[in-house]
């Protein structure tokens, strides 16, 4: 039995027919839509490498069946920058050396974007560390990650203020 | 003794905290890891792992798997994929025996017992599930007491036994001594990127997208196993999603995927599931270490006697060389490091970040504290009392050793002075038990062998090439910085090609020696290119450098100039244009001459200071501060080096408090074989960490004065944390990781 879904990924509409209901959002992105930026680290929702935004909410795409995201708006790491202009979180990760091998980085960054949007952590480092603890980094670039998220949160808040002023 | 190595290069890019050159690729998802590749006609393979640790497979429902829609082929020992090379042979370095379906015998849990190849991942996984293997199980041997010990031929890549001085006399001369037994568990690398391959054949030519820590060298391995010339193998490994020692060698699941691609005639992708990482791809073997230290009446060590019982598999040898960590550091009158192996029904261990040094240093540094305590001395004072001015045992001078400065700067930054000797006396304002501990960090400074090519292009820019590997340590950036300096070019004028096997051999990204080795080769190639260009310029009557003499010419900012008279010079592009517009190519290599290694002992050093807070009722432990001061020769990029050192220290934290693979003794399986059960630190575990890099010039270690920073951060740290817990609670736990229940039980 095939399943037809329609979803938006990074602003582009995709109509997909799945012959297999077992396909996860992660494998849909990586293997069928040829967007391998989102990474598979555990395939069990334990490491966060596959984090994407679904309707603005951060989710583990490996634990999300593709058929459940019909009509959803997905943002992945490939959709964060605007042309050559990096998202503030991306810039901050580079400046603070918030990664080494880079494999968990797409998930870390998507998680950070989600965390900042959620507004729970503000620029409080301890809360940021807690809020980012669903994303494992085996290289252990945690110090740089936490500082990058704090820095980006501050920069984005300042931008917001400037815009609303 | 060799003369100091002259350092003709002016360091420009080197020493600068440049951000990663691969940064944009890594934050945008553009960095391509092996499994991100998707050639046309791609098939997906899943290997089927044994769910017992010892016995044999009686049957599998191959028909059911084959019948599943999308399944293309199922391989089992009955129709196994034949290799040209012998998977049970060990014809070259880093060759480990592999189970590639040549037998129905099972030697460890997660051993491959079948391979399912399908049109989709989903079909392959379902086919694998449908095989439903039936086993004849035997009682597995998975703990250190389950089998008799044996005398190994080697420990890790080093000696199984090393003795300096009269060990028995050292014991006899001791006024006080400690005699201790510690245990360390098996640990698994668990790089975030699981082992993966995309294999594509074109006749007898093989292209592999494969994360690999020894890219050019591995061509020979795959050539051997598949019976093709090494030059027919192209390995692409531009980025590794972490390696930690596990991605230098060939592993059975990857071999099966490559063989299947050849048999079926279509490209095949295989990516290990996280649970499959616990078995066929190496790990840090468990140890039980017996360590004895004796001191005389003046607290000087008369003997340091360290033995490790190290686990290996039933079919191959890798003995965690834990006891060798006691060589090279403290000035003991007699020194012995020895190892016994024990064969268990586990996958073969292998090198995992600081192999031997991590588990050995953990125990050595705890034992040093126990000895200091028995002597009634401050732990730092005791270590300084036994500070080695020359390498213990050999008497060789150190090529450089700024350990005293590490102790001093680390202690000052941490505020070590005033630490009460007595345990269990410090509390914070919330009533938590507070403890301070320290440990010495030590890691050898090796060099392997590498080659490189440097090209000065007609437009005056540079191209440098070597098959180096970046698994996160920052090779893409730091090596380019070294090359830019050698060429006298700003970093942005240098293109760096690495990460593929068709380049000059970049050596092994391991042993903390990659920057020194591949960097040395790039430096040498760059200097060669400049020398060639200088020859052209000085021979050219139209050049202002004509007749200047090669020896006095140096490269600065894209120009050749006369040293000391930098007005007299000419830019690269002009020199090349006048000579006919041909690019100028230099080559070079790097390795350590044996006489250099014989003349000096070469190590990086460090001192780590830890503060822990422990709940007096629940015994929950938190590391609240961790200060590491490291002297590791020339630091090419402080930003990246500090990241490496932080990462190493966090691995130390992980060793001390988190990581352990636990076996079910009935089945032999690892019960916590995933990232939910196998604990590694997360962001919330890491707070209050500080890294200090202590300046160190080393004129002997290599032309660039580099020692390496990739692994040393683990050493010292484990002991520092364990010692801090002892200091906080009064309880000494002699088993890692230290657990709440150990403290509740009082050790």
- pLDDT of B137 > 50? The answer is yes
What is the C-alpha separation between B467 and B452, in angstroms, rounded? 8
Are B211 and A103 contacting, i.e. CB atoms less than 8 angstroms apart? no
Q: What b/e string do you get for B94-130 counting C-beta neighbours within 10 Å, with b at 16 or more?
A: bbbbbbbbbebbbbbbbbbbbbbbbbbbbbbbbbbeb
Backbone angles phi and psi of B313, in degrees to 5: -85, 175
Under an 8 A CB cutoff, do A77 and B471 touch? no
Q: How many CB atoms lie within 10 A of CB A133?
A: 17
pLDDT score at B190:
98
- Mean pLDDT for B365-376 is 98
Cα angle for residues B498, B502, B506 (degrees, 5° grid): 50
User: How many degrees, rounded to 5, is the angle at CA B181 between CA B175 and CA B186?
Assistant: 150
Minimal Cβ distance to A139: which of B639, B647, B684 = B647
Instruction: State yes or no: pLDDT of B549 exceeds 90.
Output: no
Q: Encoding tokens for residue A70?
A: 């019909």
Q: Do A22 and B684 touch (CB under 8 A)?
A: no
- Average predicted confidence (pLDDT) for chain B: 96
Residue B148 is encoded by which pair of tokens? 């008799």
Token output for B590: 């790097």
Burial tier of B365 (Cβ tally within 10 Å: 0-12, 13-18, 19+) = buried
The Cα diameter of chain B in Å comes to 85
- CA-nearest residue of chain B to A139? B647
Q: Are strands B233-236 and B176-184 parallel, antiparallel or unpaired?
A: unpaired
Using CA atoms, how far apart are residues A93 and B583, in angstroms rounded to an integer? Answer: 38
Is residue B9's pLDDT more than 70? no
Tokens for B470, please give them: 């970046």
Task: Single out the residue of B104, B102, B107 nearest to residue B133, CA to CA.
Answer: B104
Q: In this structure, what token pair is assigned to residue B437?
A: 């501990």
Q: Say whether B510 sits in a helix, a strand or coil.
A: coil
- Give the mean pLDDT of B712-741: 98
Q: Give the per-residue pLDDT at B369.
A: 98
The whole-number average pLDDT for the span B619-634 is: 97
- The nearest CA of chain A is from the CA of B330 a distance in Å of 30
Q: Which residues contact B720 (CB under 8 A, 6 or more apart)?
A: B365, B437, B438, B439, B608, B609, B610, B626, B652
Tokens standing for B132? 């439903």
d(CA B116, CA B111): 14
Please count the residue pairs, one from chain A and one from chain B, whose beta carbons lie less than 8 angstroms apart: 189
Contact A20 B123 (CB under 8 A): yes
Residue B10 has pLDDT above 80, yes or no: no
Torsion angle in degrees (nearest 10) through CA of B139, B142, B147, B153: 130
Residues in chain B closer than 8 A to A91 (CB atoms): 27
pLDDT grade for B2, boundaries at 50, 70 and 90 = low
Count Cβ atoms below 10 Å from residue B571 Cβ, excluding itself: 14
Measured over the CA atoms of residue B260, residue B264, residue B269 and residue B275, the dihedral's sign is negative
Domains of chain A: 3-78 (3.10.20.30), 88-164 (1.10.150.120)
3-class state of residue B350 by DSSP: coil
Q: What is the rounded average pLDDT of the residues B275-304?
A: 98
Among B31, B651, B676, the residue with its CB nearest the CB of A140 is: B651
Q: Specify whether the backbone of B746 is left (phi greater than 0), alpha (psi in -120 to 50) or beta.
A: left
Distance CA B506, CA B1 (A): 29
List the single residue in B with minimal CA-CA distance to A26.
Answer: B121
User: What's the gap in Å between the CA of A163 and the closest CA on chain B?
Assistant: 26
What residues of A are in contact with residue B687 (Cβ under 8 Å)?
Answer: 126, 129
Q: Could you report the per-residue pLDDT of A84-99, keeping only the tens digit for each? A: 999 999 999 999 999 9
Distance between the two ends of chain B, CA-based, in angstroms?
50
Q: Measured between alpha carbons, how far is B327 from B599 in angstroms, rounded to an integer?
A: 17
Q: Are B478 and B551 in contact (CB under 8 A)?
A: no
Q: Which stretches within B376-474 are classed as H helix? A: 379-385, 403-414
Give, as one character, the DSSP assignment of residue A29: I
Contacts of A48 in chain B (CB under 8 A): none
- Per-residue confidence at B464, pLDDT binned at 50, 70, 90? very high
User: A47 contacts in B (CB within 8 Å)?
Assistant: 192, 274, 675
| pLDDT value, residue B430 | 97
Residue B620 corresponds to which tokens in the numbers above? 């929950």
pLDDT in tens, A109-139: 999 999 999 998 989 999 999 999 999 999 9
Tens digits of residue pLDDT in B206-237: 999 999 999 999 999 999 999 999 999 999 99
CB atoms within 10 A of CB B41: 11
B643/A100 touch (CB, cutoff 8 Å), yes or no? yes
The domains found in chain B, sorted by start residue, are: 23-30+449-591 (3.30.365.10), 356-446+598-744 (3.30.365.10)
Looking at the complex, does the CB of residue B568 fall below 8 Å from at least one CB of chain A? Answer: no
- Using alpha carbons only, what angle is made at residue B29 by residues B26 and B34, rounded to the nearest 5 degrees? 85
In sequence order, what are the beta bridge partners of A9?
A12, A74
Tell me the Cα Rg of chain A: 16
B282: left (phi over 0), alpha (psi -120 to 50) or beta: left
Distance from CA of B455 to the nearest CA of A (A): 28
- How many residues are given for chain B? 747
Q: Where are the beta strands (DSSP E) in B119-175?
A: 134-137, 149-150, 154-155, 158-159, 161-164
pLDDT, tens only, B33-91: 999 999 999 999 999 999 999 999 999 999 999 999 999 999 999 999 999 999 999 88
| Highest mean pLDDT: which range of A117-126, B182-191, B557-566 | B182-191
Neighbours of B741 (CB within 10 A): 9
Q: Work out the minimum CA distance from B676 to partner chain A, whole angstroms.
A: 6
Asked if the bond preceding B737 is cis, omega within 30° of 0, the reply is: yes
pLDDT one-digit tens code per residue, B324-335: 999 999 999 999
| 3-class SS string, B533-576 | HHHHHHCCCCCCCCCCCHHHEEEECCEEEECCEEEEEEEHHHHH
User: In which order are the strands placed within the sheet that holds B433-444?
Assistant: B426-427, B433-444, B603-614, B621-631, B689-693
pLDDT above 70 as % of chain B: 98
Q: How far apart are CA B358 and CA B353, in angstroms?
A: 8
pLDDT, residue B329, reads: 97
Residue A3 Cα distances to A22, A30, A67, A72, angstroms: 11, 18, 7, 15
Would the pLDDT of B467 be above 80? yes
Residues of chain B numbered 606-645 and touching chain A (CB < 8 Å)? 639-640, 642-644
Q: Is B686 on the interface with A (CB under 8 A)?
A: yes
In chain A, what residues touch B121 (CB-CB under 8 Å)? 27, 31
Complex ipTM tops 0.95? yes
Going by pLDDT thresholds of 50, 70 and 90, the confidence category of residue B514 is very high
Mean pLDDT of B152-168: 97
CB burial of B64-76 (b: ≥16 within 10 Å; e: otherwise) equals: bbeebebbbbbbb
| pLDDT, position B14 | 82
Cβ atoms of residues A76 and A38 within 8 Å: yes
Helix axes A105-118, A88-95, angle to 10 degrees: 120
- What is the residue whose two structure tokens read 């692994």? B711
Q: How far apart are CA B667 and CA B186, in angstroms?
A: 17
Q: Where are the alpha helices (DSSP H) in B139-251?
A: 167-172, 215-226
Alpha helices in B183-279 (DSSP H): 215-226, 252-264
Q: How confident is the model at residue B551 (pLDDT cuts 50, 70, 90)?
A: confident
Locate A123 and state its tokens.
């620029």
In b/e form, how buried is each residue of B345-355, taking b as 16+ CB within 10 angstroms? bbbbbbbbbbb
B595 assigned to active site? no
Q: What pLDDT does B8 receive?
A: 47
Q: Exactly one of B200, B391, B642, B711 is catalytic; name it.
A: B711
- The alpha-carbon gap from B110 to the nearest alpha carbon of chain A, in Å, equals 16
Number of other CB atoms surrounding residue B482 within 10 Å: 31
- From chain B, the residues in CB contact with A43 under 8 A are 273-274
Question: Do B122 and A20 count as a contact with CB atoms less than 8 A apart?
Answer: yes
Instruction: Compute the distance between CA of residue B79 and CA of residue B61 in angstroms, rounded to an integer.
Output: 14
> Strands (DSSP E) along A28-160, which ranges?
51-54, 57-60, 73-75
Q: What is the pLDDT of residue B321?
A: 98
CB contact under 8 A, B674 and A44: yes
């Amino acid at each position: 039995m095939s399943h037809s879904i329609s979803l938006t990924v990074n602003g582009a509409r995709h109509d997909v027919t799945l012959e297999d209901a077992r396909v996860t959002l992660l494998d849909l992105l990586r293997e069928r839509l040829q967007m391998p930026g989102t990474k598979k680290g555990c395939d069990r929702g334990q490491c966060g490498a596959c984090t994407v935004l679904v309707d603005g909410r951060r989710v583990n795409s490996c634990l999300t069946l593709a058929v459940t995201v019909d009509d959803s708006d997905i943002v992945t790491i490939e959709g964060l920058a605007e042309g050559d202009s990096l998202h503030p979180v991306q810039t901050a990760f580079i400046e603070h050396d918030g990664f080494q091998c880079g494999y968990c980085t797409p998930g870390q960054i998507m998680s950070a974007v989600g965390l900042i949007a959620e507004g729970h952590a503000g620029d409080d480092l301890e809360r940021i560390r807690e809020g980012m603890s669903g994303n494992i980094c085996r290289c252990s670039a945690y110090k740089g990650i936490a500082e990058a998220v704090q820095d980006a949160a501050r920069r984005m808040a300042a931008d917001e203020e400037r815009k609303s002023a | 003794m060799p003369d100091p190595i002259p350092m003709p290069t002016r360091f420009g890019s080197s020493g600068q905290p440049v951000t990663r050159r691969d940064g944009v690729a890594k934050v945008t998802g553009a960095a391509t890891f092996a499994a991100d590749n998707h050639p046309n006609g791609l098939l997906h393979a899943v290997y089927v792992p044994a769910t017992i640790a010892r016995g044999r497979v009686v049957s599998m429902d191959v028909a059911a798997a084959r019948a599943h829609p999308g399944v293309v082929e199922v391989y089992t020992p009955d129709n196994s994929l034949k290799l040209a090379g012998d998977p049970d042979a060990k014809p070259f370095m880093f060759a480990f025996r592999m189970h590639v379906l040549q037998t129905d015998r099972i030697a460890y849990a997660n051993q491959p017992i079948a391979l399912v190849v399908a049109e989709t991942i989903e079909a392959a996984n379902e086919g694998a599930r449908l095989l439903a293997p039936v086993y004849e199980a035997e009682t597995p041997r998975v703990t250190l007491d389950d089998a008799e010990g044996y005398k190994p031929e080697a420990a890790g890549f080093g000696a199984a036994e090393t003795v300096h001085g009269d060990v028995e006399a050292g014991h006899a001369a001791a006024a006080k001594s400690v005699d201790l037994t510690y245990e360390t568990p098996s640990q698994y690398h668990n790089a975030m990127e699981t082992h993966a391959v995309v294999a594509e054949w074109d006749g007898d030519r093989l292209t592999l997208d494969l994360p690999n820590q020894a890219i050019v060298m591995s061509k020979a391995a795959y050539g051997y196993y598949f019976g093709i010339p090494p030059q027919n193998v192209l390995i692409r490994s531009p980025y590794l999603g972490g390696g930690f020692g596990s991605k230098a060698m060939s592993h059975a699941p990857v071999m099966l995927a490559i063989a299947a691609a050849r048999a079926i005639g279509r490209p095949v992708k295989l990516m290990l599931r996280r649970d499959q990482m616990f078995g066929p791809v190496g790990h840090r073997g468990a140890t039980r270490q017996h360590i004895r230290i004796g001191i005389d009446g003046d607290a000087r060590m008369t003997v340091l006697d360290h033995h490790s019982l190290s686990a290996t598999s039933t079919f191959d040898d890798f003995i965690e060389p834990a006891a060798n960590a006691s060589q090279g550091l403290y000035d003991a009158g007699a020194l012995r490091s020895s190892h016994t192996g024990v064969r268990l029904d586990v996958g073969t261990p292998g090198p995992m970040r600081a192999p031997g040094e991590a588990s050995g240093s953990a125990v050595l540094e705890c034992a040093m504290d126990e000895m200091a305590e028995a002597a009634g001395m401050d732990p730092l004072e005791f270590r300084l009392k036994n500070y080695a001015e020359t390498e213990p045992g050999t008497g060789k001078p150190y090529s450089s050793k700024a350990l005293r400065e590490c102790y001093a700067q680390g202690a000052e930054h941490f505020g070590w002075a005033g630490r009460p000797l007595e345990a269990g006396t410090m509390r914070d304002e919330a009533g938590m038990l507070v403890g301070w501990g320290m440990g010495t960090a030590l890691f050898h400074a090796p060099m392997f062998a590498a080659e490189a090519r440097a090209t000065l292009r007609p437009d005056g820019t540079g191209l440098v090439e070597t098959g180096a590997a970046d698994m996160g340590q920052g090779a893409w950036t730091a090596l380019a910085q070294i090359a830019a300096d050698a060429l006298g070019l700003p970093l942005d004028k240098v293109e760096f090609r690495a990460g593929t096997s068709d380049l000059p051999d970049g050596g092994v990204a391991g042993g903390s020696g990659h920057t020194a080795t591949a960097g040395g080769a790039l430096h040498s190639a760059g200097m060669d290119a400049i020398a060639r260009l200088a020859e052209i310029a000085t021979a050219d009557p139209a050049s202002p450098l004509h007749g200047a003499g090669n020896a006095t010419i140096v490269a600065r900012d894209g120009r050749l100039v006369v040293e000391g008279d930098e007005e007299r010079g000419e830019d690269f592009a002009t020199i090349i244009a006048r000579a006919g517009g041909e690019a100028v190519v230099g080559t070079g290599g790097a390795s350590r001459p044996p006489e250099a290694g014989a003349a000096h002992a070469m190590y990086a050093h460090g001192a780590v200071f830890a503060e822990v807070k422990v709940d007096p009722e629940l015994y929950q432990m938190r590391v609240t501060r961790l200060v590491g001061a490291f002297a590791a020769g020339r630091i090419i990029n402080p930003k990246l080096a500090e990241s490496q050192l932080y990462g190493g220290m966090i691995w130390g934290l992980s060793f001390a408090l988190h990581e352990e693979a636990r076996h079910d003794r009935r089945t032999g399986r690892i019960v916590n074989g995933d990232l939910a059960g196998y604990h590694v630190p997360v962001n919330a575990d890491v707070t209050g960490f500080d890294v200090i890099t202590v300046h160190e010039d080393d004129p002997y270690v290599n032309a660039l004065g580099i020692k390496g920073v990739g692994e040393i951060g683990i050493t010292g740290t484990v002991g520092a944390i364990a010692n801090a817990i002892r200091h906080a609670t009064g309880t000494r736990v002699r088993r890692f990781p230290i657990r709440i229940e150990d403290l509740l039980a009082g050790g």
